[in-house]
Chain A
Amino acid sequence: MSIELKNITKQFGAVAAVNQVTFSVQEGELMALLGPSGGGKTTVLRMIAGLEVPTSGDILIRGQRVNELSVQQRNIGFVFQNYALFKNMNVFKNIAFGLKIKKWKRRDIKARVAELVSLLGLEGLEKRYAHQLSGGQRQRVAIARALAPKPSVLLLDEPFGAVDAKIRQELREWLVTLHHELSVTTIFVTHDQEEAMEVSNRIVIFSKGDLEQIGTPREVYEQPANEFVARFIGVMNVLDTEVKAGVARVGELQFGTPNQPDGARLRIGFRPYAVQVSTDVNLFPYRAVLHRTYFLGIMLRLEFELASGLVLRSRMTKEEYAQLGLEDGKEVSLQIRNYRILATEEAALPPERQSAYQPPPSIAENI
């Protein structure tokens, strides 16, 4: 067990930025802390680093309680959101800084820096200053600097936040490769669910200081523990319905919900992929009109308007779209293959009652 957090709470004044959070990270794991901004994920990262002190609870690194250890003693590598490269030092000196502080011999420093420079593809940039580097290069220098003193854990705060979309994609793939090569325990913070899904082995999802769920990308997508996770990970159609004779209804839509009393209000959710479309208007139970098509590259996002005025979101590939011969304004019929109850009127349903939900194979295929 590389890192353990036990009942960690952090109060800023009267506000609990982090509330009774417990989770652990395995040795060599690549873990994402995911959540909307203000969710407490950066605070958790900073507490692991020792840059913030938890109000209560314990933090263990490799079995050792580190609450009382200062930042300097924790042997962590930290990559800041804006990289925080030392402006007055060149790339070489930035990477060598931690080694110099630890009083490494000159020769060893040179060798270690050279090793990192080649590992991170920074050859020829040693003499440059931060302002002479591109965003991607700066980030790699920051990672090299953090890795130089051989930390037991690498922590990254929004590592891809400060670069544009194209470089972000390269850096994601590159981080996965790097982690694969070094297999140093890595935790990174992100607010981008796609990024977390793509890069990490496991995801910890935070909202308003509470830990909502921990799991692999597939687990949190297919078996969300609650409504927040279900809506935060991936796109979801969400409808408020009322139960009548074991069927939850809204507009013309009907969802079978056995064991629910008449008059109960349920929130029903389903993924865009669960909406099945046919141009044969009599094939599926619901009539709809293709209201609008958004081209997102290979995938298209479609909005269907039902006769009752409800709008459902769906997704399909360009090929499917072409095959069906769809266009805006076209009349179609729909069915909803899979759905889940997100919440009753009062509160989120406890997770175990959601087990009735069977993730359809098509969802996994479409991701």
Chain B
Amino acid sequence: MAGNVPQVNRQATAKSQRGTEESPLVKWLLVGVCGVFLAVFLLLPLVNVFAQALVKGWQVYWASLHEPDSVSAIKLTLLIAVIVVPLNTLFGVCAAWAIAKFEFRGKSLLITLIDLPFAVSPVVAGLIYIIMFGLQGYFGPWLDKHDIQIIFAVPGIALATIFVTFPFVARELIPVMQATGREQEEAALTLGASGWKTFWHVTLPSVKWGLLYGIILCNARAMGEFGAVSVVSGHVSGVTNTMPLHVEKLYNEYQGPAAFAVASLLALLALVTLGLKSLLEWKQQRDYQRAQVSAAETVAGPKSA
């Protein structure tokens, strides 16, 4: 009897393997399709951007980045990021805090509203601001009288970019904050810490990776946004052209290498973003696993270090 048991088990295992696992052919076919697809549609174009940028050599590449309009576009893009990212970080932290830590009426409405920019076309986002602040818009005449320019100027670009990028930080933070719960903060309160000190010493450190991740994604989108910015910018070269708009302009003027040179900077930004994103995901994963391990040990008893 006892001798038969292992055999039965082996049979069962063999069957279950056959049952759950497809043949190697299917596996490699699927992996192959994915690989080819990614190579043709993602990797090749990306490599091509750099190839095209350098087609006339480093000298031309360098020169096209140093051309005044390009420099101005790069500066404007950085300026927009510097304005937009901190504002959306602040908003994202507030919104995530409110949603994760409190119960209130209209909470689900707030969550839906935060997602709105993901759902709406960027062009619409741009048009909203034209309708609001453009010369024919609701506040246009008043603004014009007081000599304040929003549309076709830096403020308009910043507004449109804020609209498009505001979900990123909040979306990243909400699940992290919900998972952390209130206990650590309550512990800080019972030890005499004020709300602000609790936030600074306890809340922020426990969500730092999620927050950084959100900021990086927000930054990438803020620098790369085309549609919304295109509507409100007015395309004044050297004044209201951001990098994406400048790339389009150069390309339309048949300055291929120059267009690709600026585009290569944006592509580089994407690569850096992906790299940082992977790093942060890895760190978050590690923290999570540590938490899991320690939770398991809580039950399992002392661990010899």
| Cβ-closest chain B residue relative to A51 | B186
Tell whether, in the assembled complex, residue A131 and residue B291 are in contact, meaning their CB atoms are under 8 Å apart.
yes
Of A55-63, A80-88, A348-356, the one touching chain B: A80-88
Of B130-138, B189-197, B255-263, the one touching chain A: B189-197
Please report the total number of A residues contacting B with Cβ < 8 Å: 39
Say whether B305 faces chain A, with CB atoms less than 8 Å apart: yes
Task: Give chain B residues whose Cβ lies under 8 Å from the Cβ of A87.
Answer: 184, 205-206, 287, 291
Tell whether, in the assembled complex, residue A138 and residue B191 are in contact, meaning their CB atoms are under 8 Å apart.
no
- In Å, the complex CA distance between A81 and B299 comes to 14
Say whether B290 faces chain A, with CB atoms less than 8 Å apart: yes
Say whether B187 faces chain A, with CB atoms less than 8 Å apart: yes
Interface members, chain B 126-174 (any A CB < 8 Å) = none
Interface string of A99-130 (1 = CB under 8 A from B): 00110000000000000000000000000101
Task: Give chain B residues whose Cβ lies under 8 Å from the Cβ of A101.
Answer: 188, 191-193, 197
Task: Give chain A residues whose Cβ lies under 8 Å from the Cβ of B184.
Answer: 84-87
| A102-B186 in contact given A134-B298, A163-B298, A164-B300 (Cβ < 8 Å) | no
- Interface range for B: 20 to 34
**Which of B191, B193, B201: most chain A Cβ within 10 A?**
B191
Tell whether, in the assembled complex, residue B301 and residue A135 are in contact, meaning their CB atoms are under 8 Å apart.
yes
Task: Give chain B residues whose Cβ lies under 8 Å from the Cβ of A85.
Answer: 184, 187
Among candidates A78, A149, A163, residue contacting B187 with C-beta atoms closer than 8 Å:
A78
**Which of A72, A76, A81, A82: most chain B Cβ within 10 A?**
A72
Interface string of B264-287 (1 = CB under 8 A from A): 000000000000000000000001
Say whether A35 faces chain B, with CB atoms less than 8 Å apart: no
- In Å, the complex CA distance between A134 and B191 comes to 23
Say whether A315 faces chain B, with CB atoms less than 8 Å apart: no
Say whether A162 faces chain B, with CB atoms less than 8 Å apart: yes
CB distance from B241 to the nearest CB of A (A): 43
Say whether B178 faces chain A, with CB atoms less than 8 Å apart: no
Tell whether, in the assembled complex, residue A72 and residue B189 are in contact, meaning their CB atoms are under 8 Å apart.
yes
Interface residues of B (CB under 8 A from A): 183-184, 186-194, 197, 201-202, 205-206, 287, 290-291, 293-294, 297-303, 305
Interface residues of A (CB under 8 A from B): 49-51, 71-72, 76-78, 80-82, 84-88, 97-98, 101-102, 128, 130-138, 145-146, 148-149, 162-164, 166-167
Known: A130-B294, A133-B294. 9 other contacts (CB 8 A): A72-B189, A84-B183, A84-B186, A86-B187, A86-B188, A98-B193, A136-B301, A138-B294, A145-B187
Task: Show 30 A/B contacts (Cβ-Cβ < 8 Å), sorted by A.
Answer: A71-B186, A71-B190, A72-B190, A78-B186, A78-B187, A80-B183, A81-B183, A84-B184, A87-B287, A88-B202, A88-B206, A97-B188, A98-B193, A101-B193, A101-B197, A130-B294, A131-B290, A131-B291, A131-B293, A131-B294, A132-B294, A134-B298, A135-B302, A138-B298, A145-B191, A149-B192, A162-B299, A163-B301, A164-B300, A167-B301
